[in-house]
Chains A and B, each alone.
Chain A
């Protein structure tokens, strides 16, 4: 199977045949955007200083080396828990027109709805692989909201074949983590019954 690469700006039709469990790669603009940036746009009504239409965001807080003269280098970059942004993500997609949300772990009903209505994807970059990820960041083009500190600033990155990105929510609103959870919970109940019989140490 050939490598599926998406290039920004991404249009609705680029995403229509992509399903949960597929693996894609990204070339173009990827902006780090996490807790406080989401809160600022949605709750504090502060306009985002970057245009995200057709682009991708990354729930990530990188380690960045300051080279001086407003030049920076990514040392390590990887995803953080996406679920923390669940509360904001539907409105975030609506307001920004962002097409890809890259992070870690699953997201919930709000994001499913946002992805379905506005044709966007949530993707998982295998977490903890921050040097591997850094090698596909070609450069940091801009940085905004530096007052939030290194992890929370908006680092605008130019990436080349960034991935593997595993599709966790597709444009139909299917959600791989929610599907898995049903199976996990069923197995958990079975295991509880099995184990609890064998740990009756208080007699």
Chain B
């Protein structure tokens, strides 16, 4: 068999596995999110909030049993890829991921969420120009690939916002920016939320950091002591507002606040907020060079 044939077969195998993985992410929440929701529901004593949590757990059970997307809005797929320089399918990965979204859309099925802009038509395939979004990092001396798959609906995408503050506004300005967004847009984004805060130089660095923050697990802390302090203060502060599930009041508002930061220009503080809804459909899968996989976010699950 020729080497090219091998590559074709490998490509097919990985497309098939990724399609199944996307499907899994659509009907089963990652362990950290499931555990946190359970914990929050046990602390809740508001009448409406308790009914909503009960509905949520029944829904997740049904979705998992029937293997149907637990939320109808299966988002525009996003992938955060950390690819080893020696991973054999490095050059094919973009097309593998796009094809796997199309395949999973047919098979799961997922919602058709790709509308071509300006021409304004739904492609009916759930893929389009630049969608899914694929964000790359290359790792030296590695032949593995780590892939975060993320399915964010319109509701929790809508609060996304970024700006550039003047250093005079300080981190106090960051706090204000985040809190204001919670009471205006956060309410409708399906709390309890996972809040991602990005800090950096400009809008795009901050925005990327804020999305990466949503890939970090619930309950993890930033390695920087000050950033970790701000995570804790914001988490307690937003919880004290008492948004509750669906913004209908309750004892808590968030699953957590994750901050991701990079160095900034001396004259600017770039800040961004991204929110993940309670149905935070994030999954991480790692492939080795032989396409053996490990699912890091959903314990005990095979494809």
Contacts and interface: CB of A to CB of B under 8 A. Distances in A.
B68 interface: yes
Q: Tell which of A61, A65, A105, A126 has the most Cβ of chain B within 10 Å.
A: A126
Nearest 4 CB-CB pairs, A to B? A149-B122, A105-B188, A129-B59, A191-B237
B94 interface: no
Contact of A166 (B48, B158, B170, B172): B48
Contacts of A80: 73, 154-155
A201 B170 contact: yes
Contacts of A48: none
A130 B179 contact: no
A128 B190 contact: yes
Contacts, number: 186
A23 B52 CA distance: 11
A5 interface: no
Interface string B41-80: 0000000100110011011001100101111111000000
Given A65-B109, A151-B122, A127 B182 contact: no
Nearest to B168: A202
A200 B171 contact: yes
Contacts of B188: 81-83, 104-106
Interface residues of B, number: 62
- Which of under 10, 10 to 19, 20 to 34, or 35 or more describes the interface residues of A? 35 or more
A199 B243 contact: no
Nearest to B62: A131
Nearest to B188: A105
Main SS of the interface on chain B? helix
A145 B81 CA distance: 38
29 contacts: A63-B74, A76-B68, A76-B71, A78-B71, A78-B72, A81-B158, A105-B187, A106-B188, A127-B71, A127-B277, A128-B71, A129-B71, A130-B69, A131-B66, A152-B122, A166-B48, A177-B187, A183-B242, A184-B187, A184-B243, A187-B242, A188-B179, A188-B182, A188-B241, A191-B240, A196-B175, A199-B174, A199-B226, A202-B167
B247 interface: yes
Interface in A113-166: 124, 126-132, 134-135, 148-152, 164, 166
